[in-house]
Amino acid sequence: MNAPTHAGLRVITLTLPTLNGVGHAFELLETQDMSLLLALKEIRGALPATLLDNFVCHAGACNTCRILIDGKPALPCTTFTRDLANQVRVEPGNHAQGWDGLRDDTRRMHGC
């Protein structure tokens, strides 16, 4: 991607697993105060549904969007791209134990 660069912005590369487990790199232009969740939503059409079907509250309250960023657990709704390297590997994560009931209730409330 040959995106134009602007002062204070950069091109970031997110590598995500495909359904067969092979990583696929997506490049996008980072915007000011972009969360990783917003970045993932920008490339949503190219993502496996299983990676994006868990984003519910968008505020870090429900833990339903927990993923792995370069192998470390994180919440994309409270992680800003400015705090990440230029190249990041993102993988589905496991929800914290004991959160299943809240996750299910939250998903029902949001019509998921």
The pLDDT tens digits of the residues spanning 52-105 come to: 555 556 666 666 678 889 989 888 888 999 999 999 998 877 654 444 444 555
- Domain residue limits at 62: 11-109
Kindly state the DSSP code that residue 31 receives in the 8-state scheme: -
- Residue at 81 is within a domain: yes
Give the domain CATH number at 60. 3.10.20.30
- Residue at 60 is within a domain: yes
Give residue 80's identity as a one-letter amino acid code.
Answer: F
- Residue at 44 is within a domain: yes
Give residue 41's identity as a one-letter amino acid code.
Answer: K
- Residue-averaged pLDDT of the chain: 73
Which pTM value belongs to this model?
Answer: 0.68
The predicted model gives 34-46 an average pLDDT of 83
- Residue at 5 is within a domain: no
- Residue at 96 is within a domain: yes
- Residue at 6 is within a domain: no
How many structural domains does the chain have?
A: 1
- Residue at 4 is within a domain: no
- Residue at 102 is within a domain: yes
What's the pLDDT at 89?
Answer: 92
